[in-house]
Amino acid sequence: MRINWEGLGVAASVACAIHCAVVPLFITSLPLLGVNLVDNPGVEFTLLLAALVIGLFGLWHGFRLHHHKVWPMLLFVAGIGFMAGKEMMEGRPLWMLIPSLALILGAHYLNHKLCRKANHCHENDCNHDQVVL
């Protein structure tokens, strides 16, 4: 059984976007209960690190086996950088979320398009007829 790293990377990016949208809106009452997830830099940077690692694994597959273009990974890292910058800025400006998400989703979209355009596999490195989770 093989893992679809690109799909997992997209899922992690979407989960990060949902987290960034939902936490400020719906979970702001948790500090009243003694739980501080909303304004916890440790939680935020742990999620960013997880998204970075999983996303890069997904993009690496396309780079190594299909298109050999570094642009998707560079766009993805820039998007994560914008997200980290947003977390470090005073007041965490929401306007930084737009370029961050555009870069992250654009990286995955570009990777997908480049993989489809390459339309080949290297010897026994991949099998597109096989069902992948």
Instruction: Give residue 131's pLDDT band: very low, low, confident or very high (50, 70, 90).
Output: very low
Helices 97-118, 5-26: crossing angle, 10 deg rounding = 160
Please return the burial class of 86, using the count of CB atoms within 10 Å of its CB with bins 0-12, 13-18 and 19+. Answer: buried
Q: How far apart are CA 42 and CA 39, in angstroms?
A: 9
Q: How far apart are CA 15 and CA 21, in angstroms?
A: 10
Q: pLDDT digits over 46-66, tens only? A: 888 988 998 898 888 888 888
Provide the residue ranges of all domains of the chain, joining segments of one domain with +. 5-118
State if pTM tops 0.85: no
